[in-house]
Chains A and B, each alone.
Chain A
Amino acid sequence: MTTFILRRLIQTLVVIALLSYVCFYLMTLMPGDPVELMIQSNPKITSEDIVRLKQLYGLDQPAYKRYATWVSTIAQGDLGYSRTYRVPVGELMGPRLYNTFILSMLSLLISLAIALPMGIYSALNPGGKFDSFVNLFSFAGISIPSFWLALMLIIIFSVNLGWLPAGGTETVGMSDADYFTMIKDRGVYLILPILSLSIQQIGGFVRYARSAMLEAMRNDYIRTAKAKGLARNVIIWRHGFRNALIPLITIIALSFSTLFSGALLTETVFAYQGVGKLVYDSIIGNDYNVAMISFIISVSMVLLMNLVADILYGFADPRITFN
C-alpha cells in the first residue's frame, strides 16, 4: 500500500510539472496579449509604447524561457506578483482561496448531508411519494440555471424580505471586530451563496446516491441477507450501502477536487470574494502568476482526489488491490 501511494505521488508530481507547462504554453497561445488589449481603449498608446511594454513584461521571449523564469522564481518560494492588481500573488489569493474553501466546503458538506440520506431513502422506497418528491426536487435543482436561482434568492430574501444582505463577503469595516461577531457576520453573508450552491449540488448527488443504492439493493446477496432474517439496518448499511459506494466515491472525489476552484457564477452574483472571478479574469487578462498558481492548485486537487478515491475503492471493496 505504501509503495502504491508513493508511486502514485511521484506520478502525480510528474503530471503536475507536465501540465503546468501545458497550461503555460496555452496561455501564450491565446491571441491578444495584455498590451494589445490596452491599446484598444486608448488610441494614444504608440507602437513604441507597445514594444517597450512587451519587453518589460518579457512577452518578447519564447514561451519556454519565460516558463523557466517562472519555475525558478517559484522554486525560490516567491509566488510572484499580479500584474493586474499590482500586489503579490500570495497576498491577493490567500484570503480568497480561504473564502472559496469555506464556501465550497460548507455547501458540499451540507449537500452531502442532505442528499445521501435523501437518495438512499428514496432508493429503498422507489416509486413512493417521497421518491417522487425527491425526484422532482433534484431535477429542478439540476435544471435551474444558477444565475436565475441566485438572483431569485436575492430578490426574495434581500430585496423583498430584507432578512439577508444582497451580496458581499462581510460588512465593510468588520475586519477589526472581535472574533465572535466577525464569524456571525461572515455567516450571514454565507447563507444565500451556500443555499444557491447546495440546491444545485443536491440534485446531482441525490441522483447518484439513489441509482447506486437501487442497483446495490438488487443484488442476490441482499435477497440472501433478507432471507437470512438479518436486521434491516444491517442489510441496508453493511450489504447495500457498502456496495453502492464505488460510484459515490468517484463522484464525491470529483466534487472535492473543485474545492479551491471557486464557483465563478455564484461568487460573481453574490459579490463573494472568492477565487472564481479572479482566476477567470487572470486568464482573460494574461495575469500569468495568478493564473499559473490557480492551475497548479486545480491540477493537484484533481490528481490528489483521484488518488484518495483509488485508495478508498480498496476499503469499499476489499477485492480491489493495487499492485
Chain B
Amino acid sequence: MKNSILILAASLLALSSCTKKESSSNLNNSEYKIGISQEFENLNPLVMQMVATTYLYSISGRRLVNMDENSKWVPQVVTEIPTLENKKAKIITVGGKKKVVAEWEILSNANWGDGKPVICEDFALAREIAMNPNVSVGDKESYAQIEKIDIDPKNPKKCTFTYGRARFDYYMLGTYMPLPSHLEGEVYKKHKDEREGYEKNSLYSKEPTNPGLYNGPYLISEIKLGDHVSFTPNPHFYGEKPKIQKVIVKLIPNTGTLEANLQSGTIDAIGVVGLDFDQATGFDKKVKAEKLPYSVNFVPGLTYEHIDMNMSHPILKDLNVRKALIQGLDRQTLIKSLFDGKQQIAIHSVSPKDPWYSETDAIKKESQYSKANAEKLLDAAGWKKGADGIRLKDGKKLSLEFSSTAGNKTRELVQVYLQDQWKQIGVEVTIKNYPARVFFGEITKKRKFDLALYAWTSSPESVPRSTFHSSSIPTEKNGWSGQNQPGWNNQTVDKLIEDLEVEFDPAKRLTIATKITEEYVKDAPVIPLYYRSEISVTPSKLKNFVMTGHQFYETNAIEKWTLE
C-alpha cells in the first residue's frame, strides 16, 4: 500500500509540475475573453459604485470628458472642452458671486445603440435624476456643481452649463454620465417619488441588453451578475469601428484560479481589476522564462499607499518622532526587494503623474532615508535606547500599534517589513489588523489608531480639501466626517487650499500646490509609502492596448484594440 501511495503522490507531483505550453496563436478578432477578479453590479451609470463596473462601463458607454493615458482631459462625446482660452467658457458675476458658464456641443454623429441621437436632454435628465434625493448616487459633486443646463432651442445637441462656483476644475466631469432620455425619461417620471424607485425600475436592471442604453463602441448582448458580460460591436458608435467582434468579461473571484484560467486558455487576458501584485510578478517571471505569448503590464497608478500617524497620540504628537519614523525606513529597498521595483516610490501625496507633482530640494531632504538621522531625532526627542534595544522615555516604551485591513497580504507583507525596520531604530510596533469595515468604520473614522496603513485613489489635480483641511478632521461634533485622519491642523494649508480651488491659471496652481506639498512634508502627518501599480495581462498579439494608470481605464480605447 505504501508503494501505491508513493507512486500516486509522485505522479500527482509530476502532473502538477509539468506545464503544457498553451499557445494563443489561434486568437483572432472574432472573440476576446478578459478575466477580472472583482465583483461588478448592474451597469446603470448613475448608481454604479464598484470599480469593476467602471471598467465595464467604458466598454459600452461614453461620457462628456475623459482622462487619457497622459492624465490629460480630452473630450469624448463632445466636440471640444470649453475653456477660458477657447472662449467657450467664461467667468461671470451674478449677485456678487462668481460663476462659470460653458458651452458644450455634442458630436453630431454621437448616437445611442438604437440609432437615436445623444442629446443635451440626456445630460439634463442624468442631472435631474442624480439630484433627486430618492436616488442613491454616491458622489454627486459632478452633477451638483452645475446649477442649470440651458439647451439651445434650435439645436438639441448644444447647451450651456452654469456652474455655481467659479472653480478651475469645472470641466473635469469625468463621472458625469448621460442617460438615454428617450428610454429612461419615461421610467423616471413614473417612479421618481418612490424611495429608490428609479434604480429598481431602470431599464439597466430590467432590460440590460436593450441597445438604446449604450452609446459606446460595444453593446451588451448578455449579462449575468457575478459571472460574465458579453459585448458585441455597436453599429451606431460615433468613433472608430471596433475591431474585435465579441468581447467577454468573465468574473473569477479567486486570483489563483484566474491565473489557472489564463494558462488553460479559458480566458485570453486579465484586466486591471484582476491579479494581485505578488502573483503578477511571479507570472511575469514565468512568462519571460518560458517565453509564453503574454505580456504582463505594470503601470504606476494613482493609488497612494500611506500610513496615517495619529497626531493626537501622546507619542506621535512629537514632530521628531514622526520624522524619525519616516526617515528610519528604507523605501527604496522595500520597493526593490518586495515589489521587484515595480511600484513607484511615494515621497508625498501627489503622484508623479499629476501636473501638481513637485520635487524641490526641501521636499527631497525631508524624505531621505537615513537611519542615523532617525536615531538622532529620537534621541533629541528624549527616547533613549533600553537594554532590549527598544527606546524608553520616563520608563515608558516607545511602542505603537500598527493597524491595517486584515487579510490583505501585500499590506501584511509591508507591515512585517516596516516592523523590522523600525525595530532597528528602537521603535516597537505591534500589528493589530481589523476587517475592512471595522478598520474604516471605526478605527480610522474615529481616529482610534496609532499608525494606520491604507490607500486612497485620487485623480490628478484634485484639491486635497477633504484630506488636508483642518475642517475635515473627524470629530464627534461633525459626525466623524472628513478624512483628515492624522488630525493635521495647519492654518497656512487651509488658506492655500481655499486659494487653490479658485485659481484658473495652471502655473499658479502648481505654485500653490507645491507650497502645500512642502508643508505636508515639513509637518509629516503621514508616512508616504508607494503608488500602487495597475496590472494587466494581455496576449502578445493584442495591439493598440495602452494602460492609463488611473480610474479612467484602458477600456476607454477598446475600439482600437486588435488581434490581427
Contact residues of A with B, CB < 8 Å? Answer: 30-33, 36-47, 49-53, 55-57, 81, 83-88, 92, 96, 129, 132-133, 136, 147, 150-152, 154-156, 158-162, 165-169, 172-173, 175, 268-271, 273, 277-278, 281, 284
Closest Cβ of chain B to A118, distance in Å, is 15
- When distances are taken between beta carbons in the complex, the residues of chain A under 8 Å from B442 are 31-32
Of A33, A53, A86, which one neighbours B41 at CB under 8 angstroms?
Answer: A86
Of B5, B39, B224, B441, which one neighbours A37 at CB under 8 angstroms?
Answer: B441
Of A51, A155, A273, which one neighbours B260 at CB under 8 angstroms?
Answer: A155
Closest Cβ of chain A to B148, distance in Å, is 20
In the complex, the answer to whether A166 meets B257 with C-beta atoms within 8 Å is yes
In the complex, the answer to whether A273 meets B138 with C-beta atoms within 8 Å is no
In the complex, the answer to whether B481 meets A50 with C-beta atoms within 8 Å is yes
In the complex, the answer to whether A86 meets B228 with C-beta atoms within 8 Å is no
In the complex, the answer to whether A281 meets B39 with C-beta atoms within 8 Å is yes
- When distances are taken between beta carbons in the complex, the residues of chain B under 8 Å from A162 are 20, 264-265
B interface residues, tally (CB under 8 Å): 74
Docked pose: A36 CA to B438 CA in angstroms: 10
Closest Cβ of chain B to A233, distance in Å, is 28
Given A268-B253, A273-B224, 19 more A-B residue pairs with CB atoms under 8 Å apart are A30-B437, A37-B441, A43-B458, A45-B138, A49-B138, A56-B134, A56-B135, A86-B41, A136-B5, A151-B260, A154-B264, A160-B15, A172-B33, A172-B222, A172-B248, A172-B250, A173-B222, A173-B230, A277-B226
- When distances are taken between beta carbons in the complex, the residues of chain B under 8 Å from A55 are 133
In the complex, the answer to whether B1 meets A132 with C-beta atoms within 8 Å is yes
- When distances are taken between beta carbons in the complex, the residues of chain A under 8 Å from B439 are 32
Q: Looking across the interface, which residue of chain A has its beta carbon closest to that of B440?
A: A40
Q: Looking across the interface, which residue of chain B has its beta carbon closest to that of A267?
A: B253
Given contacts A33-B441, A172-B222, contact A167 B457 (CB under 8 A): no
Q: Does B252 contact A (CB under 8 A)?
A: yes
Closest Cβ of chain B to A177, distance in Å, is 13
Q: Does B49 contact A (CB under 8 A)?
A: yes
Docked pose: A322 CA to B511 CA in angstroms: 84
- When distances are taken between beta carbons in the complex, the residues of chain B under 8 Å from A36 are 437, 440-441, 445
Q: Does B387 contact A (CB under 8 A)?
A: no
Docked pose: A37 CA to B257 CA in angstroms: 27
- Interface residue ranges of B167-221 to A (CB < 8 Å): 195-196, 199-200, 205
In the complex, the answer to whether A57 meets B136 with C-beta atoms within 8 Å is yes
14 A-B pairs with CB atoms under 8 Å apart are A31-B437, A36-B441, A40-B454, A40-B483, A49-B139, A86-B199, A129-B1, A151-B256, A151-B260, A161-B20, A167-B254, A169-B227, A175-B222, A284-B437
- When distances are taken between beta carbons in the complex, the residues of chain B under 8 Å from A46 are 141, 466, 481
Q: Does B153 contact A (CB under 8 A)?
A: no
Closest Cβ of chain A to B275, distance in Å, is 15
Docked pose: A152 CA to B454 CA in angstroms: 33
Given contacts A40-B440, A166-B261, contact A49 B253 (CB under 8 A): no
Closest Cβ of chain A to B59, distance in Å, is 16
Instruction: Report, nearest first, the 10 A-B pairs whose CB atoms are least far apart.
Output: A32-B441, A47-B481, A32-B437, A31-B442, A86-B42, A31-B441, A271-B252, A158-B264, A166-B261, A166-B264
- When distances are taken between beta carbons in the complex, the residues of chain A under 8 Å from B435 are 284
- When distances are taken between beta carbons in the complex, the residues of chain B under 8 Å from A160 are 15-16, 18-20
- When distances are taken between beta carbons in the complex, the residues of chain A under 8 Å from B16 are 152, 155-156, 160
Closest Cβ of chain B to A161, distance in Å, is 7
- When distances are taken between beta carbons in the complex, the residues of chain B under 8 Å from A273 are 224, 226-227
In the complex, the answer to whether A56 meets B257 with C-beta atoms within 8 Å is no
Docked pose: A67 CA to B438 CA in angstroms: 23
Docked pose: A284 CA to B264 CA in angstroms: 32
In the complex, the answer to whether A166 meets B260 with C-beta atoms within 8 Å is yes
In the complex, the answer to whether A32 meets B438 with C-beta atoms within 8 Å is yes
Given contacts A87-B225, A129-B1, A133-B1, contact A56 B205 (CB under 8 A): no
- When distances are taken between beta carbons in the complex, the residues of chain B under 8 Å from A147 are 254, 256
Indicate with 1 or 0, residue by residue over B48-65, a CB within 8 angstroms of chain A CB atoms: 010100000000000000
Centre residue among B18, B141, B441 by max chain A CB count within 10 A: B441
Docked pose: A46 CA to B479 CA in angstroms: 12
Q: Does B266 contact A (CB under 8 A)?
A: yes
Given contacts A43-B456, A43-B467, A173-B222, contact A156 B1 (CB under 8 A): no
Of A42, A136, A156, A271, which one neighbours B251 at CB under 8 angstroms?
Answer: A271
- When distances are taken between beta carbons in the complex, the residues of chain B under 8 Å from A175 are 222
- When distances are taken between beta carbons in the complex, the residues of chain B under 8 Å from A31 are 437-438, 441-442
Docked pose: A240 CA to B199 CA in angstroms: 62
Docked pose: A159 CA to B1 CA in angstroms: 29
In the complex, the answer to whether A53 meets B12 with C-beta atoms within 8 Å is no
Of A42, A88, A166, which one neighbours B266 at CB under 8 angstroms?
Answer: A166
In the complex, the answer to whether B141 meets A44 with C-beta atoms within 8 Å is yes
Of B44, B138, B437, B454, which one neighbours A42 at CB under 8 angstroms?
Answer: B138
Number of CB contacts from chain A to chain B under 8 A: 189
Q: Looking across the interface, which residue of chain B has its beta carbon closest to that of A148?
A: B256
Docked pose: A85 CA to B467 CA in angstroms: 30
Q: Does B478 contact A (CB under 8 A)?
A: yes
Q: Looking across the interface, which residue of chain B has its beta carbon closest to that of A130?
A: B1
Docked pose: A273 CA to B225 CA in angstroms: 9
Q: Does B140 contact A (CB under 8 A)?
A: yes
In the complex, the answer to whether B260 meets A158 with C-beta atoms within 8 Å is yes
In the complex, the answer to whether A56 meets B225 with C-beta atoms within 8 Å is no
Docked pose: A167 CA to B254 CA in angstroms: 10
Indicate with 1 or 0, residue by residue over B71-109, a CB within 8 angstroms of chain A CB atoms: 000000000000000000000000000000000000000
Q: Does B151 contact A (CB under 8 A)?
A: no
Q: Does B156 contact A (CB under 8 A)?
A: no
Closest Cβ of chain B to A6, distance in Å, is 39
- When distances are taken between beta carbons in the complex, the residues of chain B under 8 Å from A284 are 435-437
- When distances are taken between beta carbons in the complex, the residues of chain B under 8 Å from A270 are 257
Q: Looking across the interface, which residue of chain A has its beta carbon closest to that of B227?
A: A273
Docked pose: A33 CA to B441 CA in angstroms: 7
- When distances are taken between beta carbons in the complex, the residues of chain A under 8 Å from B445 are 32, 36
Docked pose: A88 CA to B206 CA in angstroms: 10
Docked pose: A133 CA to B464 CA in angstroms: 66
- When distances are taken between beta carbons in the complex, the residues of chain B under 8 Å from A158 are 260-261, 264, 266
- When distances are taken between beta carbons in the complex, the residues of chain A under 8 Å from B5 are 136
- When distances are taken between beta carbons in the complex, the residues of chain A under 8 Å from B296 are none
In the complex, the answer to whether B139 meets A269 with C-beta atoms within 8 Å is no
Docked pose: A103 CA to B435 CA in angstroms: 30
In the complex, the answer to whether B225 meets A159 with C-beta atoms within 8 Å is no
Q: Does B263 contact A (CB under 8 A)?
A: yes
Q: Does B482 contact A (CB under 8 A)?
A: yes
Docked pose: A74 CA to B33 CA in angstroms: 40
Docked pose: A198 CA to B454 CA in angstroms: 39
Given contacts A166-B261, A172-B228, A172-B250, contact A37 B139 (CB under 8 A): no
In the complex, the answer to whether B257 meets A151 with C-beta atoms within 8 Å is yes
Docked pose: A147 CA to B253 CA in angstroms: 13
Docked pose: A160 CA to B253 CA in angstroms: 21
- When distances are taken between beta carbons in the complex, the residues of chain B under 8 Å from A169 are 227
Indicate with 1 or 0, residue by residue over B358-376, a CB within 8 angstroms of chain A CB atoms: 0000000000000000000
Docked pose: A36 CA to B446 CA in angstroms: 12
In the complex, the answer to whether A49 meets B140 with C-beta atoms within 8 Å is yes
Closest Cβ of chain B to A65, distance in Å, is 15
Closest Cβ of chain B to A128, distance in Å, is 11
Closest Cβ of chain A to B176, distance in Å, is 13
Closest Cβ of chain B to A63, distance in Å, is 16
Q: Looking across the interface, which residue of chain A has its beta carbon closest to that of B251?
A: A271
In the complex, the answer to whether B440 meets A152 with C-beta atoms within 8 Å is no
- When distances are taken between beta carbons in the complex, the residues of chain B under 8 Å from A281 are 39
Q: Does B47 contact A (CB under 8 A)?
A: yes
In the complex, the answer to whether A156 meets B15 with C-beta atoms within 8 Å is yes
Closest Cβ of chain A to B158, distance in Å, is 29
Of B51, B200, B248, which one neighbours A81 at CB under 8 angstroms?
Answer: B200
